[in-house]
Structure 1
Amino acid sequence: MTSTSGDPRNFALRDESGEKTSTFTGQVPRQAALKVARRLDTADSEAQASREEFRLREKGTKKLHIYEGWAWREQAPEDKPGWMAETITEANVSKEGIEYLDEL
């Protein structure tokens, strides 16, 4: 199955035992990984953030994307909209690789 570049793809977050815990959507795996990273324990700064490894299974494929992610809190920009909180969660990820599973 192929998709066009604008179609969203679904990625299942897998725990250590390989069980699906949540589903995240993104046009590319990194977009979904950033959504996962924002849910990690946040630190007061990026330098203090602890890195956590997680795995995203791309639905409909045998690909398992492996990422290391971290999150931290920052002050919202001065020109923020009125509904935005004073502090926001920022995140970053680093791709560690791809594994190919036997089963679909």
Structure 2
Amino acid sequence: MVRQDGKRSFGLREADGSEPSAFVGNYPRQAALKAARRLTPGPSEADADRQELRLRERGTNKLHIYEGWAWEEDAPEDGPEWLSGTITEANVAKQGIEFLDE
């Protein structure tokens, strides 16, 4: 369901059908990127392990399927003072949409 501010809620669906995590975004890709940043990061984008992310849009029977991966990079030199060391970057690629029979 869409909130008054336009944001939608997506539940990260596990293999057993449970949804232990929820992510909010205007678009499913925003929620998928947030979920991908929680993956175990690889040393570089090319070497990162890719995992399937299944996000169910709350209030609907739509299941958005993404391939997600994360990697570590050095923090930018011109970043804020509190941002130092390494940061986790992430990317996703949409694989499709399924409709649940629930």
TM-score (norm 1): 0.92
CA deviations over 1:44-88 (Å, ceiling 9, x no partner)? 100110100020000011100001100000011110001113211
* Matching residue of 1:59: 58
CA–CA separation in structure 2 for the residues paired with 1:2 and 1:27: 9
Shift of 1:94: 0.6
* Matching residue of 1:14: 13
CA–CA separation in structure 1 for the residues paired with 2:36 and 2:69: 6
* Matching residue of 1:91: 90
The residue type paired with residue 77 of structure 2 is E
State how many pairs are aligned: 102
Shift of 1:3: 6.3
Structure 1, gaps ≥5 residues long: none
CA–CA separation in structure 2 for the residues paired with 1:85 and 1:38: 17
The residue type paired with residue 82 of structure 1 is E
- Structure 1 residue runs of 4+, over 2 Å off? 1-4
* Matching residue of 1:50: 49
CA–CA separation in structure 1 for the residues paired with 2:84 and 2:70: 17
Structure 2, gaps ≥5 residues long: none
Aligned-residue Cα RMSD (Å) equals: 1.4
CA–CA separation in structure 1 for the residues paired with 2:47 and 2:97: 27
CA–CA separation in structure 1 for the residues paired with 2:44 and 2:58: 33
CA–CA separation in structure 1 for the residues paired with 2:2 and 2:8: 11
CA–CA separation in structure 1 for the residues paired with 2:54 and 2:85: 31
